[in-house]
Amino acid sequence: PEKACACSHTESRWPVFSERSDPLAFVLSFTDLPYSLKDSGTTQGNVLSVVCTAELPKPSITSNNSDPVENVDSVVITCGPQTQSTGYLWSVNNDSLPASARLELSLDNRTLTIHGVTRNDTGPYECETRNPVSAGHSDPFTLNVLYGPDAPTISPSDSCYHPGANLSLSCHVASNPPAQYSWFINGRPQPFTQELFIPNITANDSGSYACLAYNSGTRLNKTTVKTITVSEPVAQPTVHASNTTVTGNKDSVVLTCSTNNTGVSIGWLFNNESLKLTERMKLSQDNSTLTIDPVRKEDAGTYQCEVSDPGSSSKSDPVRLAVEDDRTQPNSGLPPGAIAGIVTGVLAGVAVIAALVYFLFIRKTGGASDLRDVTEHKPSASNHSKDHSDNLSNKIEEVAYSSLNFNAQESTKSTSASPSPAATETVYTEVRKM
């Protein structure tokens, strides 16, 4: 059988091999030869073949490019030293190598090539060597990838300021090695600094502010420009209403927002909240005019407009809109069944009144006929009877204006001749008017 172990010898000695519990740990000792092999024609016994393997030294990592440029250079890192019967393993960021087309290993895994290196390939990298009796780990190795500068970022993001304020701008950029910064105000160079500070600014400080970042390693530069505006705060707007008291479902109203500022944005508020437009509301193109047509009860409340620019904003005083009910329209609050019941009741009442009038009219005309019959059988030639008939005629006419019941009662008390035809006609005429 063949065993592997670490060994050394100085003289011609007979090796004695013993195996311990660890499959990779062996003890090899030498004893004096019991006899001279050269004097023996044959040798009996077992023959032991021994393969000796040396312990591995601590590996190390080297690179062909100490400062590769991002997206420009490729890097080859090597794990050494090179020894026979040795396996090589790589790790990055304390994990095994990811599967990537940009990573390439040699046949014996001793070299690792990184194509098109990026800032994310910095590492650290480690290599491990192994043979049957030992293993070794290298120290972490980090690539110094040169990258940037990216597009600079100017902070804060504010771009509008009021006169008298202090302007403080800062420029930041990702870069290795760190970038060098310079400022330009309306094209005029400023001192080389990452921070720019201007106290008590005025309208003359409005303009373009440019930050330039330069990387001495990649020899690249990037610039970002920011526009700064210095202006007075916007003035308070006013709201004018075409009518503040309107009739619901009938009238319309037009609200107009007036401002002395130009280039501002206009918004509307209803009861201190942002106005939610409905299909009955329309805004003009610049939002300065709000039309509600028609107005409804739910539109009653306070209206305001708000004007703003990037640096300030202002709200108008509230305008209250009152919405009244339309009194010319029938109350549609009753359900259809109630309305039908009312109409039916009215018609029934009219029918009862008509029947009552008809009954009284028939009764009256019947009483007048009875009086005429009595007069024909008892004629009178006295003036007293004539006067009495005239008085009766007057009474009948008066009763016709006051009450049909009273007129009928008087006709039953009469003992003289029947009323004159003219009086009878008068009573008939008055009943028709009723």
Other C-beta atoms within 10 Å of 108: how many? 11
Domain chopping of the chain, boundaries? 2-52, 60-137, 153-230, 238-324, 358-433
**pTM of the full structure:** 0.54
Question: 153-230 falls under which CATH superfamily?
Answer: Immunoglobulins (2.60.40.10)
Dihedral angle sign, alpha carbons of residues 354, 356, 362, 368: negative
Q: How many CA atoms lie within 13 A of 305 on its CB side?
A: 22
Q: What is the pLDDT of residue 434?
A: 43
For residue 50, give the nearest of 84, 108, 8 by alpha carbon: 8
- Segment 229-254 shows an average pLDDT of 93
Q: What is the pLDDT of residue 386?
A: 46
Residue 194 reports pLDDT greater than 50:
yes
Q: What is the pLDDT of residue 355?
A: 81
Tell me what percent of the chain is helix, strand and coil, each rounded to the nearest 5.
20, 35, 45
329: confidence class by pLDDT, cuts 50, 70, 90: low
129: confidence class by pLDDT, cuts 50, 70, 90: very high
What is d(CA 202, CA 229) in angstroms, rounded to the nearest whole number?
Answer: 10
Residue 191 reports pLDDT greater than 50:
yes
What is d(CA 131, CA 136) in angstroms, rounded to the nearest whole number?
Answer: 9
Q: Check: CATH 3.40.50.300 for 238-324? A: no
327: confidence class by pLDDT, cuts 50, 70, 90: confident
Q: What is the pLDDT of residue 345?
A: 81
Domains 153-230 and 238-324 share a fold: yes
Q: What is the pLDDT of residue 27?
A: 46
394: confidence class by pLDDT, cuts 50, 70, 90: very low
pLDDT per residue as tens digits for the range 40-84: 444 444 445 555 566 889 999 999 998 999 999 999 999 999 888
Mean pLDDT rounded to a whole number for the chain: 78
416: confidence class by pLDDT, cuts 50, 70, 90: very low
Ranges of beta strands (E only) in 205-271 are 207-215, 220-230, 238-241, 245-247, 253-258, 265-270
Say if residues 37 and 23 touch (Cβ distance below 8 Å). no
pLDDT per residue as tens digits for the range 164-188: 999 999 999 999 999 999 999 999 9
Q: What is the pLDDT of residue 215?
A: 97
Q: What is the pLDDT of residue 423?
A: 42
Q: What is the pLDDT of residue 367?
A: 53
Q: What is the pLDDT of residue 331?
A: 54
pLDDT per residue as tens digits for the range 283-309: 999 999 999 999 999 999 999 999 998
Which comes out higher in pLDDT, residue 376 or 317? 317
Residue 112 reports pLDDT greater than 80:
yes
Q: What is the percent of the chain with per-residue pLDDT over 90, rounded to a whole number?
A: 56
Nearest-5° Cα angle at 99, 95 to 102: 110
Say if residues 332 and 353 touch (Cβ distance below 8 Å). no
Cα dihedral value 52, 55, 57, 62, nearest 10:
60
What is d(CA 126, CA 95) in angstroms, rounded to the nearest whole number?
Answer: 10
109: confidence class by pLDDT, cuts 50, 70, 90: very high
Q: Please state which of the four CATH numbers 3.20.20.150, 1.10.10.10, 1.10.357.10, 2.60.40.10 is assigned to the domain occupying 60-137.
A: 2.60.40.10
Residue 364 reports pLDDT greater than 80:
no
Nearest-5° Cα angle at 163, 160 to 166: 75
